Amino acid sequence: MNTLKFSLLFLLTIQLFSYPTLSQDVKEKSVYPMGEKILTKKCPNLAFQEYKTYDKLYEAIKTQNICTKLNTKHAESLALYIWDKKRASHKHYDKLSVTKDEKCQVCGMYLHYYPTWVAQINYPQGETYKFDGIKDMMKFCFNNKEGITEILVQDYYTLETLNAKSAYFVLGSDVTGPMGHELIAFSDKKKAMSFSLEHKGKAPLSFEEVTEYMVRNLD
């Protein structure tokens, strides 16, 4: 009987704290903005870097009162914003570098001629693929999604290495890369919007909002 109770409790805990299945559109339009607002106003000093899984982060927010007491909806919004957005943006990445022999995985162009445009995809066991721009990197990514651990791009202005999933992208601008029209990356939406206005680009998009059709249409 005790074993059965423990099993039921374990399953209930998984259900309560597991990562929620929400569409990216819902998260971008309502969940992330709510989570950002809660983090800024109610718990700006939350040390989220110490939590290694979403489950542990959400459990701490919901049951340990590490922030102001929140209802389930607000706790989930806060946890999702931190886990999907804030955590990725706080990780430090080394500057992307290339050798004279490295070529773009898609088009074969030598990368050292255009170091400021280099993008990179990492796989387990240290396997790395590099590209002469975000456009070619995205093409590769759409066809080779399985097993990717990190997707790295460079901020257009600062050349800071960014996790693509926390970056914002501008398409359709008058700025071109080694392979013509490009996706231009920025660390935050405000910078992306300013660039877009200055260079006749489209509204900034998150990584999840960029579609294969949009990328192919840049050629």
Residue ranges per structural domain of the chain: 2-90, 111-216
Query: What is the Cα–Cα distance from 129 to 174, expressed in whole angstroms?
Result: 27
Q: Which residue has better confidence, 185 or 32? A: 185
Using the 8-state DSSP alphabet, how is residue 132 labeled?
Answer: S
Cβ-based neighbours of 107, under 8 Å, separated by 6 or more: 132, 136, 179
Tell me, what amino acid is at 68? T
So what's the pLDDT on residue 56?
A: 86
pLDDT beyond 90 at 27: no
Q: Which two structure tokens, joined as six digits, stand for 154?
A: 């460079």
Q: Which two structure tokens, joined as six digits, stand for 136?
A: 């070619």
For residue 7, give Cα distances in angstroms to 14, 60, 63. 11, 22, 20
Q: Which two structure tokens, joined as six digits, stand for 159?
A: 């050349």
Query: What is the Cα–Cα distance from 130 to 18, expressed in whole angstroms?
Result: 33
User: Checking DSSP bridges between strand 184-186 and strand 128-131, what pairing results, if any?
Assistant: unpaired
Query: What is the Cα–Cα distance from 34 to 75, expressed in whole angstroms?
Result: 10
**Listed residue (70, 95, 92) closest to 159, CA to CA:** 95
**Percentage of the residues of the chain whose pLDDT score is greater than 90:** 49
* Mean pLDDT (whole number) for 131-137: 97
Residue 28, classed as helix, strand or coil, is: helix
Residue 37 has φ and ψ, to the nearest 5°, of -65, -45
pLDDT beyond 80 at 86: no
pTM over 0.85: no
* Mean pLDDT (whole number) for 149-169: 93
Query: What is the Cα–Cα distance from 82 to 70, expressed in whole angstroms?
Result: 15
pLDDT beyond 50 at 4: no
- ∠ CA 161-166-168, rounded to 5°: 85
Query: What is the Cα–Cα distance from 38 to 86, expressed in whole angstroms?
Result: 13
